[in-house]
Structure 1
Amino acid sequence: MRSLPLPAAVLWDMDGTLVDTEPYWMASETALASRHGGTWTHEQGLQLVGNDLITSARIIKAQTGVPGTDEEIVEQLLAGVVERVRTQGAPWRPGALALLARLRGAGVPCALVTMSYDVFAGAVLEAAPPGTFDVVVTGDQVERGKPDPEAYLTAAGRLGVDVTRCVAIEDSPPGVAAAVASGARTIAVPLLVPIEAQEGLSRLRTLEDVGVELLGRVADGDVVDDFEPAGRRGSR
């Protein structure tokens, strides 16, 4: 068996990938619309998955008439979601914490790359083991949100690693587009929104039982796709 190098780093999206906080966001969006006499549906909420917060605020404003600046709408959404994390906990996606522990044990650096703002990322990180992430890049630290690759390139730059030797883990189309555009080897673990197959993209149904070896294979150029018919997909 060939000996594979470890990834230079693993770059993690947060909402929907590390933690299943999308229901928290949708509840906050619904509450915001309701306070101003509007309505907000699950289908409308799906439009926002993976977007940067300013884009999400503009969509909410256009579709509900909620008053205020984009920044004020973002602040209200964040307040609702942070409160839910602190009172209800961080709902980790299956296998995420175990994989983070395996990577830490193998000495592979990890970065959190999220379009959520620092105040919310901090609330989630408070619930994670100390030292889980070497670098944190949030949506209020970059000029251009996903699907632009700036956040991923920023994370790799802060870690001092070649982004093309990194593995990014994402759950949404905008996030996948950002990771792929950065040059990182990308794994999609879809949650609420399907991720279509594309050349070079790995797709997993879950992070449960995923090991460092699989990430090493992906970093080395292998593509693993749990959604392809049997006989065509890679194995773990």
Structure 2
Amino acid sequence: MTRPDAVLWDMDGTLLDSEKLWDLAVRELAAELGGEMTDGIRHALIGASGPNAMRILFNGLGLDPTPAALAEAGGFIEHRITDLFTTGVIPWRPGAQDALAMLLAADIPMALVTNTKRSLAEFGLDTLGRHHFRTSVCADEVPQGKPAPDLYHRAAELLGLSPNRCVVIEDSHTGAQAAEAADCALLVVPCEIPVPDAPGRIFRDSLIGLTSAELGGIAAAHRVR
């Protein structure tokens, strides 16, 4: 049976329906900064790493992104997300729990690869279960977050594999770009906003019914491109 050598999972919007919590936090931050969150700004923030997200927000609101202002805004977001992640239940995306269980039972290595910083990703791992993943990599642990390939390169390295032997599962255009830049096979399961089609991108409406054979086929097709 065709199997992927490894599966590299995005977290927010892919395994966890946590983008709605991030949405609440960034809208509160925009109001705190005296601006209004537009759909255009919000969509640009989806999938962005913390530092990039703050710059996108400040530029969108027409604010001066001084180091002090960015640091203060980043602190606001970290405090608010910590509160949201710890005082409620972080919901799962449809089919995500079954997909993780299926791959774990098949002994297919998995890594969590997220643009969220480590201190916040740990809350997500509390929900997801650390036993599912051989390793995890966060945006503050590599030189550049997504859309750069650094996170996926590092995850593949930690698993002892070439990136082109790995299948990435992502929900955002930013994450898809990172996977492509790293030369990983890619499955896109959009969450909050549509992701543009592009050569090599395989799409699914949800993770419900996902099989290891399907992922193996995606990996095999990528290697012969």
TM-score by length of 2: 0.91
1:35 counterpart residue number = 32
CA spacing shift, 1:38–1:195, aligned 2, 3 Å: closer
Farther off after superposition, 64-73 or 23-32: 64-73
1:198, CA displacement in angstroms? 1.7
1:26, CA displacement in angstroms? 1.5
Within the alignment, does 1:83 sit opposite 2:69 as a pair? no
Q: Distance in 1 between matches of 2:38 and 2:89?
A: 24
1:187 counterpart residue number = 187
2:98 counterpart residue number = 98
Q: Distance in 2 between matches of 1:36 and 1:54?
A: 16
Which residue identity lines up with residue 87 of structure 2 in the other structure? T
Larger RCO: Structure 1 or Structure 2 (Cα < 8 Å, ≥ 6 residues apart)? 2
Query: In the alignment, which of 50, 54, 66 is matched to residue 53 of structure 1?
Result: 50
Q: Distance in 1 between matches of 2:220 and 2:122?
A: 32
Which residue identity lines up with residue 158 of structure 1 in the other structure? L
Q: Distance in 2 between matches of 1:41 and 1:89?
A: 27
Q: Distance in 1 between matches of 2:156 and 2:108?
A: 13
1:62, CA displacement in angstroms? 2.6
- The CA deviation string for residues 27-57 of structure 1, in whole angstroms up to 9 with x for no partner, is 1111122223332234421110111111110
Farther off after superposition, 177-186 or 64-73: 64-73
How much identity, in percent, do the aligned residues show? 34
Q: Distance in 2 between matches of 1:47 and 1:200?
A: 23
Contact 1:10 1:108 in 2 (8 A): yes
Q: Distance in 1 between matches of 2:74 and 2:135?
A: 24
Within the alignment, does 1:198 sit opposite 2:195 as a pair? no
CA spacing shift, 1:130–1:150, aligned 2, 3 Å: closer
1:13 counterpart residue number = 10
Number of equivalences? 220
Contact 1:26 1:42 in 2 (8 A): no
1:132, CA displacement in angstroms? 1.4
- The 5 A counterparts of 1:107-146 are 107-146=107-146
1:231 counterpart residue number = none
Q: Unaligned 5+ residue runs, structure 2?
A: none
1:151 counterpart residue number = 151
Farther off after superposition, 171-180 or 66-75: 66-75
Contact 1:8 1:162 in 2 (8 A): no
2:167 counterpart residue number = 167
Q: Distance in 2 between matches of 1:71 and 1:110?
A: 33
1:96, CA displacement in angstroms? 0.8
Contact 1:28 1:80 in 2 (8 A): yes
Contact 1:113 1:137 in 2 (8 A): yes
1:222, CA displacement in angstroms? 6.8
